[in-house]
Structure 1
């Protein structure tokens, strides 16, 4: 349509008027039910059910309606708008089915391990921080800061220099074991003689530091560190002797043994070298083999972060010992003099700091320290522990901790 000036005049948009409500008794329950059925079978109802299923996380809900249904609904389809019982002004979410299939409660025994518990874990962290923060403040208000300036090193530590010399002399025993293996590989000594020499060396290696500690009357911490290192060396020597004995059986003597190695394992059937022995004594493992998986390079930034964490958690261990464990032990009565209830109360008071101390020691040694050594030496296999916290029996804990 054009006006007098020749300009085009647009027609006004059509106005959709709602049909008049029937008067009198025109609206019956039967008409309401019929209109509701038509509406539920239309695309708008399908879209409502699909949106509700998407909101509730049900993947088995009805599919989303096609674009033709949406266009037909928006253009005023006679099956979904108009006529008696028109429900376009109302939401049909209430009419959409809510219960589609059988489901378990999130905290039921069948579904609890299928859910994410990140929120509960964060709540436990908040509770632990709040409770332990209160205990730390209460302890500081009661005792003050108990960590001494000479906690790391003091003048009395100089009296334990024989233990330091004993620790520095322990590498002589791995060198003796290497000499025994060299003689056995050249057939200078028999296999039985090599086994006897290994037994003598390993026994002397564990008895020697014990005698030094008893003769010097050293401090408890210094003696513990020396025996800890001596036990590690002893376990490494036992593995070194067993592995090389098996290699000699497979390569030199020609004896038949069970579980013969495959072709891929033949690369590890080599005589020990001085370099392989030194690497084994420094590597974070107790199982000797001529070669190990290695990483390509050393991640310096990652290594520095691990060292910082190691120093922090070592300080936390010292704080727990000096601030919590020592005051409880000093202020507690003798178990034979204070009575049974006092002894039980002291043990329960020590239980919480001991648990934290044990967890810090595990994290410092098995995770931080062993990973630091592995990164420096480019040791590839970093599975130093398994998920022992998920173990259900004591035997399973022993297996996953080894």
Structure 2
């Protein structure tokens, strides 16, 4: 049986076409339209990867032909031999004094001896953690790079000791109010005040978290292959960052032979756009090297179980969502030790609590830049 399709219009005669010859039978949208239902664009992604690789290789080749090889491979030896770096190393070592003082005061508080004075000295000690490096750097004037690492270390220790003090205070309150009668220390569970040991404190100091707990989730063993992979990533990525900054960013900065206000607006925009690509690339490398490779390496060495150091910030739809997902370590600290106490215990509004968190974040961003550079 031969099936025919009849086609006719007002201006042409009726034509019978065999069904085997018909190419258009159903209504079908184009694949790139929103109604097509097609969500696979892997081929386009592969094409973009190829274009990106070719463009990046061209930029590298053009840079080397124009400026030559600018990377200095002896920078580790220069860093060690530079006498201005050693004061920063000493400054990092001295942070242990503040840690031990805070620990001693916490032990005194657990014994209910001079609680008011011990708490006052705790606040003084915590404040000194931020004041001392500023005075030390201003006096010794170390290399800004080493000073930045030292100031970051002091800031991390400050936040950790704030959490350590806050959690032990809450445990002390629960103990005095008899909220956990019958809870005894077991092999796998530590209770207050048995947690007040140097081993427990220094495990927290080195652990990749800012929020103290008496008991952390632990992984069962240390994986040697995992450590080797993360170590290789750290070495390769930080070396690549150094090469990019030396070979790509410094030549652009050296073209600035006069103040920015003496250039035209278009010239300033052109230089900013030239710096935007390498800066963004280095920023992405730094994120992976620190939040993924370094923190996972540290967690593996310490058998630290909770490794959610970041969430999918690349899928964030607004700035608020981005900052919540970008650095969960700091986000969890601010929520646990700043926002929740202000809103739930002191009766602050959510808006005011968010403003306080923002102000603290702004202070530390300014502190981490102004102190190493000795900006007055």
Deviation at 1:106, TM superposition (A): 5.0
Residue of 364, 367, 372 corresponding to 2:292: 367
2:104 corresponding residue in structure 1:
179
Tell me whether 1:312 sits opposite 2:236 in the alignment: yes
Alignment gaps of 5+ in structure 2? 5-17, 181-188, 329-376
Pick the structure with more helix per residue. Answer: 2
Per-residue deviation, residues 269-321 of structure 1 (Å, max 9, x unmatched): 52232221111001111111011111111110121111111100011100111
2:192 corresponding residue in structure 1:
270
Deviation at 1:108, TM superposition (A): 4.5
Deviation at 1:376, TM superposition (A): 0.7
Q: TM-score, normalised by structure 1?
A: 0.69
Per-residue deviation, residues 340-392 of structure 1 (Å, max 9, x unmatched): 33222211111111001111111110000000001111111111000001001
1:210 corresponding residue in structure 2:
134
Deviation at 1:122, TM superposition (A): 2.1
Q: TM-score, normalised by structure 2?
A: 0.74
Q: 1:186 to 1:127 in 2, by over 3 A?
A: same
> What SS is found at the alignment partner of 1:297?
coil
Distance of 1:352 and 1:231 partners within structure 2: 30
Distance of 1:376 and 1:357 partners within structure 2: 26
Tell me whether 1:244 sits opposite 2:168 in the alignment: yes
Distance of 2:153 and 2:20 partners within structure 1: 70
2:12 corresponding residue in structure 1:
none
> What SS is found at the alignment partner of 1:380?
coil
| Contact 2:172-2:192 at 8 Å conserved across structures | no
> What SS is found at the alignment partner of 1:170?
helix
Q: Which residues of 2 match residues 36-55 of structure 1 at below 5 A?
A: none
| Contact 2:84-2:141 at 8 Å conserved across structures | no
Q: 1:249 to 1:119 in 2, by over 3 A?
A: farther
Q: Which residues of 2 match residues 155-194 of structure 1 at below 5 A?
A: 157-190=82-115, 192-194=116-118
| Contact 1:388-1:400 at 8 Å conserved across structures | yes
Tell me whether 1:132 sits opposite 2:50 in the alignment: no
1:49 corresponding residue in structure 2:
none
Deviation at 1:156, TM superposition (A): 5.3
| Contact 1:163-1:212 at 8 Å conserved across structures | no
* Greater RCO (CA < 8 Å, at least 6 residues apart): 2
Distance of 2:204 and 2:267 partners within structure 1: 49
1:53 corresponding residue in structure 2:
none
Tell me whether 1:143 sits opposite 2:67 in the alignment: yes
Per-residue deviation, residues 44-103 of structure 1 (Å, max 9, x unmatched): xxxxxxxxxxxxxxxxxxxxxxxxxxxxxxxxxxxxxxxxxxxxxxx987789964xx88
Residue of 189, 197, 201 corresponding to 2:121: 197
Deviation at 1:177, TM superposition (A): 1.4
1:336 corresponding residue in structure 2:
261
Equivalent residue pairs, number: 303
Larger Cα-atom Rg: 1
Per-residue deviation, residues 8-55 of structure 1 (Å, max 9, x unmatched): xxxxxxxxxxxxxxxxxxxxxxx745xx8xxxxxxxxxxxxxxxxxxx
Over aligned residue pairs, what C-alpha RMSD do you find? 2.7
Q: Which residues of 2 match residues 1-400 of structure 1 at below 5 A?
A: 32=2, 99=26, 107-109=32-34, 115-154=39-78, 157-190=82-115, 192-254=116-178, 269-271=191-193, 272=195, 273-333=197-257, 334-400=259-325
Distance of 2:111 and 2:173 partners within structure 1: 14
Deviation at 1:111, TM superposition (A): 7.0
Distance of 1:315 and 1:209 partners within structure 2: 28
| Contact 1:335-1:342 at 8 Å conserved across structures | no
> What SS is found at the alignment partner of 2:75?
coil
Distance of 1:104 and 1:188 partners within structure 2: 79
Q: 1:255 to 1:349 in 2, by over 3 A?
A: same
Deviation at 1:241, TM superposition (A): 1.1
Q: 1:317 to 1:276 in 2, by over 3 A?
A: same
